């Protein structure tokens, strides 16, 4: 028998059950709002479960600006957040803060990384340059060919899908309802204000809507009159296991190869970059290139046991900044999309920023850089 379609009412509907959607729902429901998450598949089934979970605010972002400050603010939230979510849900997000070494493989790259050390020490004096010998003392499995590296003791990582599920479970604790296998088809308007959504399970009414569907956000936004350039970038990863630990810390190469050692003994290794595709198939060529790079950087990896390979789709934007804010001419509609490689890192502060915005006391300093109409991409 076909499921009866019902009209329901909430304070806020969050479209998208990934890590940012769940973080937003958690922050809003914790403040007493009646929230629903609508997810067309299952929670954390896309980029949130495909990421390696690096919290690499200072390894990945190399210049000051709104995104860097946003990332530092979010990174600082993780120690307390990990405890808060564990106490509330019993879920351990496996927050690890053993640091990251950003390696340099040539003298030319080393000069660039040393400049980054000087710059990053403005925010964290503990960051330092390690020569080749010091790198190998810290991580003996690294290739002896590396020139050195930047040691970032306060960068770390989490298990991304676990963090996403912890946000969702904590949101449910505060009353959030989860509607999985439900697709949002369009918005419901009343005099240019969004008052709900039409879904495959019927109409749902609300006072505010937050669109947090990552690389899939552009189509629903186009229907509102804004051409928001969020596009997919596929990334392929694989993991290995070893009887004895190979690495203690995350290793990050500027040539976009990283190693993230997890608590269960797995090392996540990634990631390729293929723009403008939603096809999540894992290709032999993609994995072969990663394997070759991995063995160059950590030769001992070749003796580790193969575990698995996977791919996910990251949401990139035209200028590399996320879109976070209220729609410029559809009141009640808010966006949080386009976090690209930093979705896991930025999830705590994104949830907080959107919740503050919906409550009417936004952080305008950050929001002005991330606003939806910053490039004036109006369709009609």
Tokens at 350, concatenated: 């994104």
pLDDT at res. 223: 87
Kindly state the DSSP code that residue 154 receives in the 8-state scheme: T
pLDDT at res. 59: 87
The mean pLDDT of 41-45, rounded to a whole number, is: 89
- How far does Cα 210 stand from its chain's mean position? 17
Q: Does 273 share its domain with 246?
A: yes
Last residue of a domain, one of 317, 347, 371: 317
Last residue of a domain, one of 265, 282, 317: 317
Assess contact for 256 and 376: CB atoms under 8 A.
Answer: no
- Number of C-beta neighbours around residue 68 at 10 A: 17
Host domain of residue 324: 1-99+155-229+319-380
For the stretch 175-218, pLDDT in tens is 999 999 999 999 999 998 999 999 999 999 999 999 999 999 99
For the stretch 86-141, pLDDT in tens is 999 999 999 999 999 999 999 999 999 999 999 999 999 999 999 999 999 999 99
Q: Does 73 share its domain with 105?
A: no
Phi, psi of 172 (to 5 degrees): -60, -40
- Number of domains comprising the chain: 2
Between CA 253 and CA 309 the distance in angstroms is 20
List, in order, residues 6 or more apart from 287 with CB less than 8 Å away: 236, 238, 309
For the stretch 48-101, pLDDT in tens is 888 999 998 888 888 899 999 999 999 999 999 999 999 999 999 999 999 999
The mean pLDDT of 153-181, rounded to a whole number, is: 96
The mean pLDDT of 281-286, rounded to a whole number, is: 97
CA angle at 221 for the pair 160 and 362, rounded to the nearest 5°: 65
- Give whole-number Cα distances, 92 to 74, 170, 360, 361, in Å: 18, 12, 33, 31
Last residue of a domain, one of 302, 317, 332: 317
Q: What's the CATH code of the domain at 191? A: 3.50.50.60
């Amino acid at each position: 028998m076909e499921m009866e379609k019902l009209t329901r009412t909430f304070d806020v509907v969050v479209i998208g059950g990934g890590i940012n959607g769940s973080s937003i729902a958690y922050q809003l429901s914790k403040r007493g709002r009646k929230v629903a998450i609508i997810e067309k598949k299952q929670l954390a089934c896309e980029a949130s479960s495909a990421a390696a979970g690096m919290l690499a605010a200072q390894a990945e972002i190399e210049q000051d600006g709104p995104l860097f400050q946003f990332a530092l603010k979010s990174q600082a939230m993780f120690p307390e957040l990990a405890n808060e979510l564990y106490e509330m849900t019993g879920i351990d997000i496996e927050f690890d803060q053993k640091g990251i070494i950003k390696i340099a493989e040539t003298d030319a790259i080393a000069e660039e990384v040393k400049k980054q050390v000087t710059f990053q020490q403005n925010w964290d004096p503990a960051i330092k340059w390690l020569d080749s010998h010091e790198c190998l003392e810290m991580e003996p499995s690294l290739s002896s060919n590396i020139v050195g590296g930047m040691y970032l003791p306060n960068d770390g990582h989490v298990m991304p899908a676990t963090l996403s599920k912890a946000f969702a479970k904590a949101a449910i604790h505060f009353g959030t309802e989860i509607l999985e296998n439900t697709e949002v088809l369009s918005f419901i308007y009343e005099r240019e204000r969004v008052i709900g959504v039409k879904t495959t399970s019927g109409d749902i009414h609300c006072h505010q809507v937050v669109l947090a569907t990552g690389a899939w956000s552009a189509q629903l936004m186009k229907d509102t009159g804004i051409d928001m350039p969020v596009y997919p970038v596929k990334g392929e990863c694989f993991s290995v296991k070893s009887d004895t630990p190979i690495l203690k810390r995350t290793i990050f190469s500027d040539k976009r190869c990283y190693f993230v050692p997890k608590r269960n003994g797995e090392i996540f290794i990634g990631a390729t970059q293929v723009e403008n595709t939603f096809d999540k198939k894992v290709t032999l060529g993609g994995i072969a290139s990663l394997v070759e790079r991995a063995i160059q950087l950590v030769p001992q990896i070749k003796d580790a046991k193969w575990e698995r390979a996977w791919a996910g789709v990251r949401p990139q934007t035209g200028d590399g900044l996320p879109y976070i804010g209220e729609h410029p001419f559809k009141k009640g509609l808010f966006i949080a999309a386009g976090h690209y490689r930093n979705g896991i890192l930025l999830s705590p502060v994104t949830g907080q920023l959107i919740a503050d915005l919906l409550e009417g006391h936004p952080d305008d300093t950050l929001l002005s850089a991330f606003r939806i109409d910053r490039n004036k991409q109006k369709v009609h």
